[in-house]
Structure 1
Amino acid sequence: MKKTNANQRQAAILELLSKNGAMKTTDLAEHFQVSRETMRLDLLELTNQGLVKKWFGGVICTPPETPDSPGIIETTVIDERMTRMPEEKTSICRKALELIPEHATIFLDCGSTNLYLAQQLRSLSGYTIISTSLQIINTLCGSANKLIICGGVIDTSILSVCGTPALDFLRQLRTDAAIFGSSGFKANSGPTGLASDYSSIKKIALQNTLTSIVLADHTKATYSSPVQFADWSEIDYLVTDPAMDPQALERLGDHTKVIFA
């Protein structure tokens, strides 16, 4: 990689985080071929500017604020994720539906790929869909499916419910399939999420399902996020697109069944 000065590097860090959501400090240092101390100083400067915040051994971008709604993520930020790799995500979701029995009870995780799946489920009927995601429930309103939303505290960074009430509610439920997204798994032994509180939701949903499925396009194998919510051996299926790195596929295939969309 071409040598960069601190200003160039910090701008590039923000660009990476906007794409990946979160990254570990060690991965950023490796990416930019600098020492961990240099990267720590870069991240400290960005933190002081309010552009990033620390997150479980790594950093995430600070959500943009509006004058009228400080601290609330603008819908355009979340909608932007829906514009990434739409064809791949659509194909992944279609393939995932083949793994789910008709009229099944489903836990549907938050995230852009699962929102694509919700759009496809909207035209179907007879399913019972459990979710903590406000966007997913909103997408499915008006469909001929039974919808169950967990109660609790809303995490505005992901527009999803989390916290003890949601966990207690989910512990009572059993599902035919739990469908998860992932925030990257390059340096992990399983799929990850960004928020520790919400990862607890994923773990309970995983414990209480017959079939566990992760939906992830090939780019998720190129970066890591802070909080791992499962080992690949606990996941029945990873549904992805054929462009995933062969070395990553070989590693994943030793622990879970990989299905191409």
Structure 2
Amino acid sequence: MGKLIAAERQKEILKLLHDNGSVKIGQLAEQFQVSRETIRRDLSYLTEIGAAQRSHGGATSIYEFGTVPIETRINKDADIKTKLCEKALEFIPQTGVIYLDAGSTIVHMAKLLSQRSGCTIVTCSLSAANVLIGSDNTTIITGGQLNPGNMSAEGFQATNFINNLKVAVSFLGTNGFEQHKGPAVSDFSDAQTKQAIIPNSKLNVVIADSSKACASALIQYASWRDIDYFITDSNLPKPLYDSIREMTKVILVDL
């Protein structure tokens, strides 16, 4: 690996922390072809901004690492996710393309859309595409590198495809938004895919249950101001509701 500037190197270190949970100074110095002192400064900086925690000989992630299999996440709180997605159906246009993001909640949106006909749906989610098989809709998959944790297509091919799209509405998920001023995810490639669709969609809708308010995620992929609607349940804490609704429209669904 060629030498990187400090910001690029620190971003790569964060990726390693997310994927592995911890890093060692010696290994990083060898990998990035810099001195141990340079790596110590990188880790000190990441610790100062709250992105890492120093440990003996290296650093550990402050976030949970690894991804719970999407099959498990789809079944968790399935009734709540379905109710939120039923509300989101109000934003389905009579004409125009629908984009479905990767994520367990969005798979429930795909299940509801599979009962409709005549829709054109673009998705990076293999799980959503699988649900739509056999429906009377046109389903287009973005292509890209498989992310087994999300069962989604990501990377350059996916973002390049999305950059050439214009859709009427996009439905987006989030792993959590504690300590963030917008929806966040735990994977850089997932964040890049989401960031690609937002400017190419007339309407951006985030769907997430209120438990995500207390969940940490690695990287914020958008500000709430970039989102047109946030659909969640009525258990969202009021101070957080008041804060978010200053930046976007919040729709609370009674459970």
TM-score when normalising by structure 1 = 0.73
Q: Kindly provide the CA deviation profile for residues 14-56 of structure 1, in whole angstroms up to 9, marking residues without a partner as x.
A: xxxxxxx99x99xxxxxxxxxx9xx7559x89x8xxxxxx5xx
TM-aligned CA deviation for residue 59 of structure 1: 3.8
Helix, strand or coil for the counterpart of 1:60?
coil
Partner of 1:191: 183
In 1, the alpha carbon distance for the partners of 2:159 and 2:74 equals: 27
What is the alpha-carbon distance in structure 2 between the residues aligned to residue 100 and residue 40 of structure 1?
47
Q: Distance in 1 between matches of 2:116 and 2:148?
A: 29
Farther off after superposition, 149-158 or 201-210: 149-158
**1:229 aligned to which of 199, 221, 231:** 221
User: Which residue of 2 is the match for residue 73 of structure 1?
Assistant: none
2:66 matches 1:61: yes
Letter of the 1:235 partner, please give it: I
Question: In structure 1, how many angstroms separate the alpha carbons of the residues matched to 2:125 and 2:207?
Answer: 16
Match of 2:174 in 1: 182
Match of 2:91, SS state, is coil
Q: Secondary structure at the match of 1:199?
A: helix
Distance change (3 Å), C-alpha of 1:182 and 1:130: same
Out of 199, 208, 216, the residue aligned to residue 207 of structure 1 is 199
Residue correspondence of structure 1 range 122-141 to structure 2 within 5 A? 122-141=114-133
Residue 155 in structure 1 maps to residue 147 in structure 2: yes
Within 1, Cα distance between the matches of 2:75 and 2:130? 19
Equivalent-residue separation in structure 2 for 1:126 and 1:214 (angstroms): 23
Q: CA deviation at 1:197?
A: 1.2
After TM superposition, give the deviation of residue 100 of structure 1 in Å: 1.9
The CA deviation at 1:61 is 3.1
Q: Alpha-carbon deviations, 1:218-252, whole Å to 9, x = none?
A: 10111220111100001000001111111110110
Report the CA distance shift for 1:145/1:256 in structure 2 as closer, same or farther (over 3 A). same
Q: CA deviation at 1:253?
A: 0.7
Partner of 2:5: none
Runs of 4+ with deviation above 2 angstroms: 39-42
Q: 2:63 is matched by which residue type in structure 1?
A: G
Instruction: Determine the structure 2 residue equivalent to 1:3.
Output: none
Other-structure match for 2:210: 218
- Pair 1:99-2:104 in alignment: no
2:236 matches 1:244: yes
- Which residue type is aligned with residue 161 of structure 2? F
On the 8 A contact 2:210/2:233 being kept in 1, the answer is: yes
- Bigger radius of gyration: 2
- Tell me if the contact between 1:179 and 1:212 (Cα under 8 Å) persists in the aligned partners: yes
Query: Greater relative contact order: 1 or 2 (C-alpha under 8 angstroms, separation 6 or more)?
Result: 1
Q: Calculate the TM-score normalised by the size of structure 2.
A: 0.74
Please tell me whether the aligned partners of residues 67 and 149 of structure 2 are also in contact (alpha carbons under 8 angstroms).
no
Match of 1:85 in 2: 77
Structure 1 gaps of 5+ residues are 1-20, 26-35, 48-53, 64-76
Instruction: Decide which moves more: 84-93 or 230-239.
Output: 84-93
**Contact residue 154 and residue 190 of structure 2 kept, 8 A:** yes
Structure 1 CA distance for aligned equivalents of residues 200 and 96 of structure 2: 14
Given residue 194 of structure 2, which amino acid in structure 1 is its aligned partner? Answer: K
Across the aligned residues of Structure 1 and Structure 2, the Cα RMSD in angstroms comes to 2.6
Pairwise CA distance, 1:62: 6.8
The residue identity in structure 2 corresponding to 1:101 is P
Identity across aligned pairs (percent)?
Answer: 33
Contact 1:167 1:200 (8 Å CA) reproduced: yes
Matched AA of 1:58: Y
